[in-house]
Structure 1
Amino acid sequence: MTTKYTALIIPARISEPVRLDAIETDQRTLQGLVGGDLETVTRGNWHVYLNAEGVTANLPANLRAAQLMYDCGLDLSGVARGTAVILGHGDHGQDADVPQHLIRLAEEFFDTPLVA
């Protein structure tokens, strides 16, 4: 049985839309979304997955993700490169749906309704 969770996905390219997707949170799927090995940054009841080699691979800066994280009290301006995948925390450190407060903040910040 596989479990899917709602993730907030923020591509680095401004031309690509910010979206909510129901995804499986296994390592292979997450690596496919960020384009390589995973780096996880945790804050409160959520965490963001980034490409661990984003800086050394010279991936494009993800200004939208960096600004959203900054508004949440986390400065990722130097490391938010490539696609960012944001999920919530479940029991025992497992992934969970992205928290509603982050969805609302993203909708306000990106001036667009987000629907999974």
Structure 2
Amino acid sequence: MSTCTALIVPARFSEPVRVENLTPDLRTLQGLVGGDIESVTRGDWHVYLNAEGVIADLPPNLRAVQLMHDCGLDLADVARGTAVFLGRGDHGRDSDVPRHMVGRAEQLCDANLAA
């Protein structure tokens, strides 16, 4: 499995939003979100979230909610804990997060997120 550039958006404002290269395998994604994963897809991107975020009472991820909203998806009740954004490649495979998502995250966080 090849590496991809991911946009990682922690729920806690004290933790920075970051872009990093990773191998998007199950173990890595579960480690980032802190448990079992679920994926939500919209156009050329998808986001991995903790599948039990609401049940586990993880903190709402307001930055991820805003980013998803700005990119055409409203999931205020689902985005809890760390969110991992990746691109959607051929046959639904993970690919690099689209540049427009990174650009929007940079605007929201007032930060340069270049990998």
Give the TM-score band, short-chain normalised: over 0.9
Q: CA deviation at 1:90?
A: 1.1
SS at match of 1:67: helix
Structure 1, unmatched stretches of 5+, are none
Q: How does 1:65-84 map to 2 (within 5 A)?
A: 65-84=64-83
Match of 1:54 in 2: 53
SS in 2 for 1:13: coil
2-structure distance, mates of 1:26, 1:95 = 9
Match of 2:99 in 1: 100
Q: TM-score, normalised by structure 2?
A: 0.98
Report how many aligned residue pairs link the two structures. 115
Question: Which residue matches 1:91?
Answer: 90
For the aligned residue pairs, the C-alpha RMSD in angstroms reads: 0.7
1:112 equivalent in structure 2: 111
Which string of whole-angstrom CA distances, capped at 9 and with x for unpartnered residues, describes residues 29-61 of structure 1? 000000001110000000000000000000011
Deviation at 1:92, TM superposition (A): 1.3
What fraction of aligned residue pairs are identical, expressed as a percent?
67
Partner of 2:37: 38
Distance 1:112 1:47 in 2: 22
TM-score (norm 1): 0.97
Shift of 1:109: 1.2
Mapped to 2, the partners of 1:9 and 1:56 lie a distance apart of 22
Moved over 2 A (4+): none
**Partner amino acid for 1:42?**
T
Gaps of 5+ in 2: none
